[in-house]
Amino acid sequence: MEGVRRADVRIFQVLRALQGFLGQSDVMAYLAMMTVRLLEMRRVLRSTGSIYLHCDPTASHYLKIVLDAIFGQQNFRGEIIWRRTNARATTGRWPRLHDTLLHYSKSDAFVFRSLKVKADENKLPHTLITGKDGKKYQTYELTGPGVTKDGESGRPWRGFNPAKYGRHWANSHGTMDMWEEAGLIHWPAKNGFPRRKSVAPFDPSQREVVVGDVWTDIDRINQSSKERLGYPTQKPLALLERIISASSNAGDTILDPFCGCGTAIHAAERLNRNWIGIDITYLAIQVIEDRIKTWLPATKYAIEGIPKDEFAARKLAERDPYVFQEWAVGRVGGQPRGRGPDKGIDGEIAFIRGPGRYGRAIVSVKGGKNVGPDAVRILKAVVEREDADMGVFICLNDPTADMRTEAALGGRIVLPGGERAKIQIVTAADLARGPNLGILTELNIVTATLAARTEKRKKPPKSPTPEELRAQPPLPPMPIKGGKAGKQQPTLPLDEPILVQPKEVTRRKRS
């Protein structure tokens, strides 16, 4: 709230009024967090730009008040209902199928391009007529709204006076005469108003309709979606492409300050826009990098806000140990385990041991200053318990002699590039340089997800027996943690980390 008061007293008053009703609640904290960011969004938005805020129906009505206050009621452009899923039975309430997208512009001179999509072939338009040949033909209005006093557009044509209906002819009498001679005017029975008839018969497969503010044709990312990356809040590319196509031009810049696994970036790149993505989690940035490498390999970009040297790595460990952990695991090519009880596993690496053979390494991160041989011993025990192939111990300082001895006692492993210690120690300086563990992690998050899906399709998993289920260890948290992280990490500034596309971009030919 304090940040808002300093930024804009009027908007602070709006928030205070909401606080009077909502009290010190989670919703209020969320609104305050969003308000500071929306104020920044308004500041950086170009005068012809638009902002789309995606929210669920539990907060959309409060956010609309906040957005009205920040962008002005007159700049409210629409509320899009995105039906993202199909009905499932829910007890005691209507199944929740939609999310809301609030659209505001910065001024009344904003870019907007109306879009069309293929129409539902089963729904025939009511403007069809049956021609003499028995085929269906589309018909079109010959008049426009409003009465004209001068000229022939306000005068009757062939006995029909559009002014009677508050309208005028949208075409000259001469053109309509020509159409009439060509048999292209439809005269409805019972003296109905004439309409123009299309030349070719109606083809339902060619019909397009204008996209309105209820979107039912874009499915959410499901288990079998081709674009699925496993990031829990991932949005469909089609959703972002629609928004970007409608509200920007090629060469414009798209900013997604909560970019998650980078759907907006992907869409912007495909549509020849420049882009900036910001996310609070390193994991999101890692997924985006992998996404770019896999699907948009010619893209040029730079990442800012992540440690570039040992000093920055140490600073990060001090400021936010969990974020340091996430970054460090990513640096050694692993996937973080997420928060909560970790059973000694902060991350895992899948690496190549030979043709078609993969190994698994357990990563343990200790971002504190006092780390000794006991911690290495614990990692060795976890590697053994998990029947993993390697252990990677990450700490800030150079390991002591005792720690080195403890690691060396863990034995050796044969890898495609030669023999290596089974337990490897990586320091903050190694992380900054780019650690060399001697392992090949050919799979990135995107290709790993794709491979997993193909594998799943090949062999439908057999259902475990109750005995097998009982024998299984408890499920770990999902390896990719995204969404709602704002609540978990409210302290990082908005501008870190940031993934920015440089201005000069060499575009590759798109397919």
Ligand X SMILES: C[S@@+](CC[C@H](N)C(=O)[O-])C[C@H]1O[C@@H](n2cnc3c(N)ncnc32)[C@H](O)[C@@H]1O
Give the interface with ligand X as residue ranges (CB under 6 A). Answer: 231, 233-235, 257-258, 260-261, 263, 278-281, 284, 482-483, 485-486, 494
Of 233 and 397, which CB lies nearer to ligand X in the complex structure? 233
Of 260 and 307, which CB lies nearer to ligand X in the complex structure? 260
Measure the CA–CA gap between 50 and 63, rounded to whole angstroms.
16
Of 169 and 258, which CB lies nearer to ligand X in the complex structure? 258
Nearest distance in Å: CB 491, ligand X: 9
Measure the CA–CA gap between 229 and 233, rounded to whole angstroms.
10
Q: Helix 321-331 crosses helix 310-319 at what angle (to 10 degrees)?
A: 140
Measure the CA–CA gap between 112 and 246, rounded to whole angstroms.
5
Measure the CA–CA gap between 322 and 342, rounded to whole angstroms.
12
Nearest distance in Å: CB 355, ligand X: 34
Q: How far apart are the first and last CA of the chain?
A: 48
Which helix (DSSP H) or strand (DSSP E) does residue 274 occupy? Answer: strand 274-278
The three-state (H, E, C) secondary structure of 144-196, written as one string? EECCCCCCHHHCCECCECHHHHCEEECCCHHHHHHHHHCCCEECCCCCCCCEE
Residue 18: closest CA among 52, 64, 56: 64
Nearest distance in Å: CB 482, ligand X: 4
Nearest distance in Å: CB 37, ligand X: 7
> What does residue 230 show for φ and ψ, rounded to 5 degrees?
90, 0
Of 261 and 306, which CB lies nearer to ligand X in the complex structure? 261
Of 256 and 406, which CB lies nearer to ligand X in the complex structure? 256
DSSP 440: B
Nearest distance in Å: CB 292, ligand X: 13
Nearest distance in Å: CB 45, ligand X: 17
Estimate to the nearest angstrom the gap between the alpha carbon of 210 and the chain centroid: 24
Of 99 and 430, which CB lies nearer to ligand X in the complex structure? 99
Total residues found in the chain within this entry: 511
Of 99 and 346, which CB lies nearer to ligand X in the complex structure? 99
Nearest distance in Å: CB 234, ligand X: 4
Q: Which residue is nearest to ligand X (CB)?
A: 260
Name the token pair of 313: 């790595």
Measure the CA–CA gap between 347 and 338, rounded to whole angstroms.
8
Nearest distance in Å: CB 115, ligand X: 20
Of 279 and 348, which CB lies nearer to ligand X in the complex structure? 279
Of 80 and 421, which CB lies nearer to ligand X in the complex structure? 80
**DSSP E strands: which ranges in 224-265?**
253-256
Nearest distance in Å: CB 63, ligand X: 14
Give the type of residue at 7: A
Locate all alpha helices (DSSP H) within 253-365, ordered by sequence. Answer: 263-270, 282-295, 310-319, 321-331
Q: How do 195-197 and 185-186 pair as beta strands?
A: antiparallel
Measure the CA–CA gap between 35 and 9, rounded to whole angstroms.
12
Instruction: Give yes or no for a contact between 499 and 277, defined as CB atoms under 8 angstroms apart.
Output: yes
Of 128 and 238, which CB lies nearer to ligand X in the complex structure? 238
Of 264 and 392, which CB lies nearer to ligand X in the complex structure? 264
Q: Identify the residue whose tokens are 């309430």.
A: 93
Nearest distance in Å: CB 229, ligand X: 8
DSSP 460: P
Nearest distance in Å: CB 344, ligand X: 25
Which helix (DSSP H) or strand (DSSP E) does residue 304 occupy? Answer: strand 302-304
